[in-house]
């Protein structure tokens, strides 16, 4: 099978001339949008670490709980050694509360995913209360190292996930609790300890604010990707249908001028108007179908549209080699608009970004209860970007909305691979 061949029922018609978009303006606008949300070097590093260890969040939780528990053991050891004991005006020391505070810190870190606010308020309140009691009875107690660490961890979490005003208040409460821990020992060492502890806590605050900003940029980038896809569809709708309507107007004007002198030419013009009108309606249905929810079948969305999409690509000179399993043509018609958009986006990306491409393999087939769509070109694959492009986000969004998945990136055997799996069950 040679390049440019296609296995399917496709009739290749004449090449349709469509108006070219202003590529310079489109590219400039795309670069502007991308620059606004370009990931930082730290974002890319965190992304690589996350991809290398998908269970990173669970692992980090265990590590943080383990470190807090270890520091709680240190608190217990200090109390047991007698170094933390100072009775003050009481007949017995309240230093036993220091390891108790350490144990509370370990519990707070362990439950912070579900009860972050309650954990921070409880731990900070207990720390401040213990310091006030020690001052009231004239007792000098060492700080709880577990509590100091836990307050930093909890503050980072609330600064990342809590609403803005609440996050600021909780961070301030944590800072007061850290100061209370540092000032619990009486004497000149308290000032130095306060500076050291608050300086370390400031690092946690910076980390929380950065993670919050990074999350905002990711959400904003995804929203921009959705907006960009809708704008792209709107541009296609304007260019494509506007082209047909312009042709209809020109043909109608010509028919009106020659109607009396050349009836045959007028009839031919009217026939061309009819064909252009039908094609314009089909184009309109395709574009509107792309704007609708993927779970609702788009008007005019059928396998013939995909056949024509591939045939048009071949006509334009793309080295497409396609295989559509005959069994899929009567299956899950609701998936056809999404398959059409995914294949179309892949072919567009190859045309825009492909280097030294000699073959584009397009495959659509059934595998168990899923529809598998793959597009693989043999060109020179560029390094994977630190974040997904707008087109990839749009394709993945379509697949995810249907309960499926999509991966895109350099293939192991060279070139670029896009692979989408869409569930067939429930959309037949």
Give tens-digit pLDDT for 257-269.
777 778 777 777 7
What's the pLDDT at 15?
Answer: 30
By DSSP bridging, strand 416-423 and strand 370-377 are: antiparallel
State how far the Cα of 39 lies from the Cα of 221, in Å rounded to an integer. Answer: 10
> Which residues are registered as beta bridge partners of 373?
364, 420
Nearest Cα to Cα of residue 302 among 272, 275, 332, 263 = 332
pLDDT, one tens digit per residue, over 161-219 is 888 889 999 999 999 999 998 888 876 677 778 888 888 889 999 988 988 888 888 78
What is the Cα Rg of the chain in Å? 32
Instruction: Give pLDDT tens digits for 81-93.
Output: 765 556 566 556 7
Confidence of residue 123 (pLDDT cuts 50, 70, 90): very high
| pLDDT 10s digits, 8-43 | 433 333 333 333 333 333 333 444 444 566 667 776
What pTM was computed for the model? 0.51
- Given a cut of 90, is residue 119 above it in pLDDT? yes
> What 8-state DSSP symbol labels residue 358?
-
pLDDT band at 411; cut points 50, 70, 90 = confident
CA 266 to chain CA mean position, Å: 55
CATH of 296-423, picked from 3.40.50.300, 3.30.565.10, 3.40.50.20, 1.10.3720.10, is 3.30.565.10
Helices (H), 4-144: 23-36, 41-52, 56-81, 97-110, 112-136
CB neighbours of 230 closer than 8 A, spacing ≥ 6? 291
What are the residue boundaries of the structural domains of the chain, listed by start? 41-221, 227-291, 296-423
DSSP percent split of the chain into helix, strand, coil, nearest 5: 65, 10, 25
How many other CB atoms sit within 10 Å of the CB of residue 215? 12
């Amino acid at each position: 099978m040679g390049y440019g061949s296609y296995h399917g029922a496709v009739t290749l018609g004449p090449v349709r001339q469509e108006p070219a978009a202003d590529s310079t303006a489109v590219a400039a606008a795309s670069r502007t949008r991308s620059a606004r949300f370009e990931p930082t070097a730290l974002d890319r590093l965190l992304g690589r670490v996350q991809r290398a260890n998908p269970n990173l969040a669970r692992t980090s939780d265990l590590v943080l709980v383990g470190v807090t528990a270890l520091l709680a053991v240190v608190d217990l050891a200090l109390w047991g050694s007698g170094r933390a004991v100072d009775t003050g005006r009481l007949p017995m020391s309240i230093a036993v509360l220091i390891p108790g505070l350490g144990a509370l810190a370990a519990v707070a870190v362990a439950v912070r995913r579900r009860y972050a606010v309650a954990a921070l308020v409880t731990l900070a309140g207990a720390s401040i209360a213990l310091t006030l009691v020690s001052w009231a009875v004239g007792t000098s107690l060492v700080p709880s190292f577990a509590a100091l660490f836990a307050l930093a961890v909890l503050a980072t979490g609330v600064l990342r996930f809590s609403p803005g005003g609440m996050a600021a208040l909780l961070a301030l409460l944590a800072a007061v609790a850290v100061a209370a821990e540092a000032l619990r020992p009486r004497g000149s060492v308290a000032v130095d300890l306060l500076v050291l502890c608050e300086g370390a806590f400031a690092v946690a605050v910076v980390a929380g604010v950065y993670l919050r900003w990074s999350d905002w940029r990711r959400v904003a980038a995804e929203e921009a990707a959705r907006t960009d896809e809708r704008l792209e569809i709107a541009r296609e709708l304007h260019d494509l249908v506007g082209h047909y309507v312009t042709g209809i107007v020109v043909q109608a004007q010509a028919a009106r001028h020659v109607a009396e002198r050349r009836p045959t030419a007028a009839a031919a013009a009217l026939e061309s108007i009819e064909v252009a009108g039908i094609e314009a309606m089909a184009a309109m249905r395709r574009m509107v179908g792309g704007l609708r929810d993927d779970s609702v079948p788009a008007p005019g969305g059928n396998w013939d549209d995909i056949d024509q999409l591939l045939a048009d690509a071949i006509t334009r000179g793309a080295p497409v080699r396609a295989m559509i399993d005959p069994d899929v043509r009567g299956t899950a018609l609701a998936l056809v608009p999404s398959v059409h958009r995914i294949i179309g986006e892949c072919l567009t990306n190859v045309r825009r970004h492909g280097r030294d491409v000699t073959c584009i393999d397009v495959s659509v087939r059934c595998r168990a209860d899923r529809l598998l769509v793959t597009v693989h070109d043999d060109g020179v694959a560029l390094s994977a970007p630190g974040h997904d492009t707008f087109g990839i986000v749009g394709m993945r969004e379509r697949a995810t909305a249907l309960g499926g998945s999509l991966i895109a990136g350099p293939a192991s055997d060279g070139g670029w691979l896009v692979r989408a799996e869409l569930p067939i069950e429930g959309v037949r």
